[in-house]
């Protein structure tokens, strides 16, 4: 059998497996919902406590198996891209070899902010509240600073989630289901699955085994998109040094810190990272990266959970990459009172967005 054909068969098998698993999760969730909503008291009373305990145990075991399986499937598609099986893995040297025609705006730019969205992202376009926040921030940026948004943070190719290799079969059907059945339950299940998928990507980026490859692939993608926008490595046309600032919200903070070092090497320019309400491991290569600015809220439980979930950020491990960066004075922390992770007191809310934007622009 020809190697290419074998690879195609293998990938098709992986897609089918991912699809079957996805449908299993979806169907079991939907059937549980239907039973709990429509089952009469007779049916529920027919289940003895022993039966219920058995059902709960089965659900727990299924959950325990599904979590690592979905993680492994996610890693598989990422490695297929790395191996070149899916095509499109560019060589760093080729990205800036053919400069795009620079617009006057690009020519005047000395600092480019790359926005990386949180784990809710499934499309290139940001949700309305995030888009409004970014538009307001853009209007307040100095003339030499440009904002680059609409980047797919959680896919390694330049594709939205529904077109991402490995999982497109599942995601397209899921989003079609959401479109044809616009009820809150289906919407909730879709949102949960999208966020679970993106949380896994954050986990891959934090993993010491898989992180380097995912972060490198993401850095290549960002460099590619920057090149398309007229970004040229090195110095701006006026001779001053170019600078990249990676701005990550929530899980986007992990992706920002993860790819910073690779982007610095590929784009040959200084790279800084900035997170707001960021959830990140701090496991990454941080030594050569510029300042890391953290904008945090005093009412943000999710970002606080990140400090527990990632032991490398604990002061108990002074030799971790993060604690070494703190010791070098590389980390700057800016706390905003009353800021939570999302919702009415989140960073995109009318109440807090001015404070967050001021903290971001003040740090440029």
The distance of closest approach from Cβ of residue 79 to other proteins in the complex, given in angstroms and rounded to an integer, is 5
Using CB under 8 A, count the residues that bind other proteins: 30
Please choose, out of 43-51, 63-71, 124-132, 341-349, the segment that lies near other proteins by the rule CB under 8 A: 63-71
Dihedral angle computed from the Cα positions of residues 309, 312, 317 and 318, in that order, rounded to the nearest 10 degrees: -140
Told to check if 265 binds other proteins by CB under 8 A, we report yes
Residue 119 CA to residue 161 CA, distance in Å, equals 12
Told to check if 210 binds other proteins by CB under 8 A, we report yes
Told to check if 279 binds other proteins by CB under 8 A, we report no
Q: What is the CA radius of gyration of the chain?
A: 22
C-alpha distance across the termini of the chain, in Å: 56
Told to check if 67 binds other proteins by CB under 8 A, we report yes
Told to check if 216 binds other proteins by CB under 8 A, we report yes
Please choose, out of 126-134, 139-147, 260-268, 356-364, the segment that lies near other proteins by the rule CB under 8 A: 260-268
Do 78 and 214 meet the contact criterion of CB atoms below 8 Å apart? yes
Closest to other proteins by CB, 271 or 326? 271
Buried b (16+ CB within 10 A) or exposed e, 114-128: bbbbbbbbbeeebee
Closest to other proteins by CB, 138 or 207? 207
Closest to other proteins by CB, 74 or 112? 74
Burial class (CB in 10 A: 0-12, 13-18, 19+), 291: middle
Instruction: Work out the number of other CB atoms within 10 angstroms of the CB of residue 184.
Output: 7
- ∠272-259-297 over CA atoms, to 5°? 60
Question: Which DSSP symbol is given to 99?
Answer: P
The distance of closest approach from Cβ of residue 348 to other proteins in the complex, given in angstroms and rounded to an integer, is 27
Residue among 11, 29, 33, 82 that touches other proteins (CB under 8 A): 82
Told to check if 212 binds other proteins by CB under 8 A, we report yes
The distance of closest approach from Cβ of residue 1 to other proteins in the complex, given in angstroms and rounded to an integer, is 11
Told to check if 302 binds other proteins by CB under 8 A, we report no
Please choose, out of 185-193, 198-206, 238-246, 271-279, the segment that lies near other proteins by the rule CB under 8 A: 198-206
Told to check if 266 binds other proteins by CB under 8 A, we report yes
Instruction: Work out the number of other CB atoms within 10 angstroms of the CB of residue 362.
Output: 10
Residue among 155, 206, 323, 330 that touches other proteins (CB under 8 A): 206
* Sheet architecture: strand order including 292-297: 145-148, 111-116, 243-249, 271-276, 292-297, 331-336
What is the contact surface with other proteins in residues (CB under 8 A)? 6, 65, 67-69, 71-72, 74-75, 79, 82-83, 91-93, 200, 203-204, 206-207, 209-210, 212-213, 216, 262, 264-266, 268
């Amino acid at each position: 059998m020809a190697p290419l054909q074998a690879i195609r068969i293998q990938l098709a098998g992986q897609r089918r497996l991912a699809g079957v698993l996805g449908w299993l999760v979806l169907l079991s969730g939907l059937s549980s919902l239907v039973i709990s909503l429509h089952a009469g008291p007779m049916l529920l009373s027919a289940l003895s406590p022993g039966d219920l305990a058995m059902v709960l145990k089965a659900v727990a075991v299924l959950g325990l198996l599904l979590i690592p399986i979905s993680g492994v499937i996610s890693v598989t598609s990422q490695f297929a891209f790395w191996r070149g099986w899916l095509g499109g893995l560019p060589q760093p040297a080729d990205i800036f070899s053919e400069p795009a025609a620079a617009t006057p705006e690009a020519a005047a730019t000395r600092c480019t902010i790359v926005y990386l969205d949180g784990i809710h992202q499934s499309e290139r376009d940001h949700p309305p509240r995030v888009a409004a926040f970014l538009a307001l921030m853009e209007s307040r940026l100095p003339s030499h600073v440009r904002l680059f948004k609409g980047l797919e943070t959680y896919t390694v190719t330049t594709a939205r989630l529904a077109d991402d290799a490995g999982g497109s079969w599942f995601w397209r059907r899921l989003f079609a289901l959401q479109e044809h059945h616009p009820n809150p339950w289906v919407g909730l299940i879709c949102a949960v699955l999208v966020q679970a998928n993106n949380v896994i990507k954050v986990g891959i980026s934090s993993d010491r085994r898989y992180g380097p490859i995912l972060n490198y692939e993401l850095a290549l993608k960002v460099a590619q998109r920057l090149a398309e926008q007229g970004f040229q490595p090195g110095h701006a046309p006026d001779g001053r040094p170019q600078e990249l600032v990676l701005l990550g919200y929530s899980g986007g903070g992990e992706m920002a810190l993860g790819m910073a070092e690779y982007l610095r090497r590929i784009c040959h320019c200084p790279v800084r990272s900035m997170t707001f309400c960021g959830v990140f491991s701090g496991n990454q290569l941080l030594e050569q990266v510029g300042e890391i600015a953290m904008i945090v809220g005093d009412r943000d439980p999710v970002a606080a959970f990140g400090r527990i979930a990632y032991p490398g950020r604990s002061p108990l491990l002074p030799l971790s990459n993060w604690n070494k960066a703190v010791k070098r004075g590389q980390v700057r922390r800016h706390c905003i009172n009353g800021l939570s992770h999302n919702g009415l007191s989140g960073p995109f809310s009318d109440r807090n967005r001015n404070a967050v934007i001021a903290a971001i622009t003040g740090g440029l």
